[in-house]
């Protein structure tokens, strides 16, 4: 099994630009989570999907952030426009049946907004 | 509400034991434990469910006190490979989201 795949692994962009992060969950998993990790705020849940439907997006910081899951094997997290305070490592994770099961994390995307 | 973890950091010599604590102000359905090494993604260690069920790791044990809304992770005979940041995550209901604590940094030295 290839595990959770994220791309790109590193992204450097200028303030105001659009950023799109991509995630491919483990085949057969029906829950997908997007997290943001910073030194100051730790590991924050941004949004999670179950069977491709957003279940809880209360962690999405503001309207500049949006996430989609058009099918069971692909999800995107978009930031438009990006700001320096969005700099962080963004992790995607997947699991079977939601929160009560182990989550498998992808390698993360390190985003730097200058 | 983010769970509280203690201690914030601990340094051990190989072979020593450690306990990491996690507590929540909300009633809990489950507690999750993950370990993250520097520059890597968090890796699952264990889930403890309300009612006593556990799913997890052979070499690490944990307890879950539902009444006190607390969990503890027990690392015995620590190895160098145990170094990393340990996160607890709490879930208040079945299929609810997991909220992670701030982490406990564990360093094992020879």
Q: Which residue from B63, B68, B71, B55 is spatially nearest to B6, judged by alpha carbons?
A: B71
Candidates A91, A100, A108; nearest CB to B91: A100
**Mean pLDDT across the stretch B69-80?**
92
**Mean pLDDT across the stretch B53-59?**
66
Q: A40-49, A93-102, B11-20, B99-108: lowest mean pLDDT where?
A: A93-102
Contact B96 A99 (CB under 8 A): yes
Candidates B42, B87, B97; nearest CB to A99: B97
Contact B47 A100 (CB under 8 A): yes
Residue B13: helix, strand or coil by DSSP? strand
Contact A45 B100 (CB under 8 A): yes
The pLDDT of residue B49 is above 70: yes
Instruction: List, in sequence order, every beta strand (DSSP E) within chain B.
Output: 4-6, 9-13, 18-23, 30-36, 43-49, 54-56, 60-65, 70-75, 84-91, 99-100, 104-109
Candidates A48, A101, A105; nearest CB to B42: A105
DSSP class of residue B52 equals: S
**Shortest Cα–Cα distance, A39 to chain B (Å):** 9
The pLDDT of residue A98 is above 60: no
The pLDDT of residue B96 is above 90: no
Residue A96 has a pLDDT of 85
Candidates B41, B95, B100; nearest CB to A107: B41
Angle at B17 between CA B11 and CA B19, to 5 degrees: 80
Residue B56 has a pLDDT of 64
The pLDDT of residue A81 is above 90: yes
On the 0-12 / 13-18 / 19+ scale of CB atoms within 10 A, B39 is exposed
Residues of B with Cβ-Cβ distance to A45 under 8 angstroms: 97-100
Give the 3-state secondary structure of A76-95.
Answer: EEEECCCCHHHCEEEEEEEE
Residues A1-30: tens digit of each pLDDT = 689 999 999 999 999 999 999 999 999 999
- % of chain A exceeding 90 in pLDDT: 86
Q: A31-40, A81-90, B25-34: lowest mean pLDDT where?
A: B25-34
pLDDT-based confidence at A100, cuts 50/70/90?
A: low
DSSP code string of chain A? ----EEE-SEEEE-TT--EEEEEEPPTT--EEEEEEEETTTEEEEEEEEETTEEEE-TT--STTEEEEEEETTEEEEEESS--GGG-EEEEEEEESSSTTSPPEE---EEEEE-
Q: In this structure, what are the phi and psi dihedrals at residue B45, rounded to the nearest 5 degrees?
A: -115, -50
Contact A43 B2 (CB under 8 A): no
Residue B58 has a pLDDT of 64
Contact B42 A98 (CB under 8 A): no
Residues B25-42: tens digit of each pLDDT = 988 888 999 999 999 999
Residues of A with Cβ-Cβ distance to B43 under 8 angstroms: 105
Residue B27 has a pLDDT of 86
pLDDT-based confidence at A80, cuts 50/70/90?
A: very high
Residue A27 has a pLDDT of 94
Residue with structure tokens 């507590």?
B23
């Amino acid at each position: 099994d290839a595990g959770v795949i994220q791309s790109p692994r590193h992204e450097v962009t200028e303030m105001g630009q659009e950023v799109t992060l991509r995630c491919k969950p483990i085949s057969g998993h029906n829950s997908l989570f997007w997290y943001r990790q910073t030194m100051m705020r730790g590991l924050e849940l941004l949004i999670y999907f179950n069977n491709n439907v957003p279940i809880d997006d209360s962690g999405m910081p503001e309207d500049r952030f949006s996430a989609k899951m058009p099918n069971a094997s692909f999800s995107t997290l978009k930031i438009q426009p990006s700001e320096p305070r969005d700099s962080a490592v963004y992790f995607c994770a997947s699991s079977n049946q939601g929160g009560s099961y182990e989550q498998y994390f992808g390698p993360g995307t390190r985003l730097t907004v200058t | 509400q983010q769970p509280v973890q203690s201690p914030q950091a601990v340094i051990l010599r190989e072979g020593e034991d450690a306990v990491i604590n996690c507590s929540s102000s909300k009633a809990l359905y489950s507690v999750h434990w993950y370990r993250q090494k520097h520059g890597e993604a968090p890796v699952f260690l264990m889930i403890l469910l309300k009612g006593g069920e556990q799913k997890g790791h052979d070499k690490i044990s944990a307890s879950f006190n539902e009444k006190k809304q607390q969990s503890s992770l027990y690392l015995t005979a620590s190895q160098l490979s145990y170094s990393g940041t340990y996160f607890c995550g709490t879930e208040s209901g079945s299929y609810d989201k997991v909220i992670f604590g701030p982490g406990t940094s564990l360093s094992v030295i020879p």
